[in-house]
Amino acid sequence: MDSDTKRFRDAVEARFARQVESLTDSAELRTLEEGRATPEQCDAFIENVARAHLRSPQLLAFLYALAPPAAAADLRHNLLEELGLEDDAGRSHPELLEDLLAGAGLAHRLPDVAACADEDLRRIVVDPLLYGTLREVGLAALTEIVAFEYMLARVSGRFARALARHRELPPPALAWFTHHSEVDVAHAEQGLNDLEAYVRYYDFTEDEALTIVELALRENVFLRRYWR
């Protein structure tokens, strides 16, 4: 679909933008930003963010295994960064999420949050697959990962400010959010390139690829993960 890749990219980006708009317009985010969330709701949000991303290295490793040559270097870089092994990366992202829980006084919740994250991963493996081959499964998974990068580049700073203002979290606890607000601008752009490379390498037609993207984004993936 060489001649269609620009149209595919634009269509995917438009769907990401709609999902982000739906998040930023949501009652859930407004409640958090306006300081109307109860402490329990704030804590649930923090735990859900940690649960959603605590096992991201495993998911990135899966995507790295499926990566087409043109996207392999990007995905390897993202994986090493998640693991805190890229140049000057410092702490791994799961460790930053642990810092978030600890800074919010929720360190004691880490075993339960980790167990939920493990169960989420387990269900991906044991639930019946919707698609017939890894080609489609990989596209659906990559779509969701890139959608989060696209969203975090635009909204994670707002999450951090809301939690600093209304939950009084100190900057070190918010490092996961601030890090993503900085690096994911590049990640999101690069992620769209990787999606293009993926559909080209694995010979998707535009219709076929967009259908899988739409299925992956049928509901707002951000609200589903952060406000369970």
Binding site for other proteins (CB under 8 A): 123, 126-132, 136, 207-208, 211-212, 214-215, 218-219, 224, 228
| DSSP symbol at 5 | H
Q: How far apart are CA 32 and CA 188, in angstroms?
A: 25
* CB-nearer residue toward other proteins: 21 or 214: 214
> What are all long-range contacts of 23-26, with beta carbons under 8 Å and residues at least 24 apart?
23/151, 23/155, 23/220, 23/222, 23/223, 24/155, 24/158, 26/220, 26/223
Closest approach, Cβ 186 to other proteins, in A, equals 31
* CB-nearer residue toward other proteins: 188 or 209: 209
* CB-nearer residue toward other proteins: 72 or 215: 215
Say if residues 20 and 155 touch (Cβ distance below 8 Å). yes
Closest approach, Cβ 127 to other proteins, in A, equals 4
Closest approach, Cβ 9 to other proteins, in A, equals 19
* CB-nearer residue toward other proteins: 97 or 217: 217
CA atoms within 13 A on the CB side of 71: 28
